[in-house]
Amino acid sequence: MNKIIKVSLAEKVSQRLQSQIESSDFKVGDKLPTEPVLMEQFGVGRSSIREAVKILENKGLVNVQQGVGTFVASKVASKDSLTKQLQTASVKDVNEVRDLLEIKIVEKAALNRTADDIRELKQILKKRNLAADRNDLIKWIEEDIAFHIKISEASKNTILSNLYKTFAEQELKNSIEERYSKNISMHRMTAIHEDLFNAIVDNSPENAVKAILEMRKLD
């Protein structure tokens, strides 16, 4: 039986934008609309737009220039993009690479995080708690993904962070939904994430790894 692949909002947005690029609605060198404009156009949140742009960047279709904007780099997607490999790889292989990435990311985040990183992570956790209180699964998933992506950025390793963002787009949303379908409560998941947050605050890579491994047991 073939595996049913779920398509996230970010994937849908990236597919729409890729179609526009391939049909020359956007030409090479053109600047894509700003995040607020794309959010309004597609009716999705900021995190979905950022993840969609990251998918396009991994495919070699766009180039992101910090503080300037996102520009079309090519009309043809890279044949061997990481995104495509993730879609066709075995679950075992994907999970193995993701485990290795997450362990190294939380270790480095615990060592390299800044006060700004801590503040942003705390704000995200607050939003996750509120979503759990309201039983808002969609918002809760969105904030969970944002939390993990922010930790990857706190690692201060751009390659690790970019790799993880691709994994987050392709696999993390489905993983969270599967956990929830196993009747693992949103509040239970939040408690584990708070353990991870506290380990990062305390500059404790050992406790950060312990928390991420505990989280993975719920998969």
Co-location of 44 and 116 in the same domain: no
Whole-angstrom CA distances from 69 to 45, 50, 121, 181 are 18, 12, 25, 38
- Residue 52: CB partners within 8 Å, gap ≥ 6? 10, 11, 13, 14, 17, 38
For residue 38, the SS3 value is helix
Q: In this structure, which amino acid lies at residue 48? A: S
Q: Tell me the percentage of the chain whose pLDDT exceeds 90.
A: 47
Co-location of 108 and 145 in the same domain: yes
Co-location of 203 and 125 in the same domain: yes
Q: How confident is the model at residue 76 (pLDDT cuts 50, 70, 90)?
A: confident
User: How large is the average pLDDT for residues 36-55?
Assistant: 93
Report the CATH number that the domain containing residue 42 is assigned in CATH.
1.10.10.10
82 within some domain: no
Tokens of 119: 């503040």
Co-location of 93 and 66 in the same domain: no
Please give the Cα distance from 90 to 143 (Å, whole number): 27
Co-location of 60 and 129 in the same domain: no
1 within some domain: no
Looking at 72, 101, 123, the residue that finishes a domain is: 72
114 within some domain: yes
- Residue 129: CB partners within 8 Å, gap ≥ 6? 190
Co-location of 57 and 13 in the same domain: yes
Q: Are the C-beta atoms of 140 and 126 separated by less than 8 Å?
A: no
Predicted local confidence at residue 183, as pLDDT:
47
81 within some domain: no
Co-location of 95 and 162 in the same domain: yes
Which residues form the domain of 168?
89-216
Number of domains in the chain: 2
Q: CA nearest 80: which of 103, 99, 60?
A: 60
Highest mean pLDDT, choosing among 53-62, 81-90, 97-106: 97-106
204 within some domain: yes
Q: How confident is the model at residue 1 (pLDDT cuts 50, 70, 90)?
A: very low
pLDDT digits (tens, 9 = 90+) for 125-179: 999 989 888 988 888 888 888 899 999 999 999 889 888 887 776 566 565 556 5
DSSP strand E in 4-134: where? 62-65, 69-72
Q: In this structure, which amino acid lies at residue 167? A: F
- Round the average pLDDT of the chain to a whole number and report it: 85
Predicted local confidence at residue 3, as pLDDT:
40
Looking at 72, 97, 114, the residue that finishes a domain is: 72
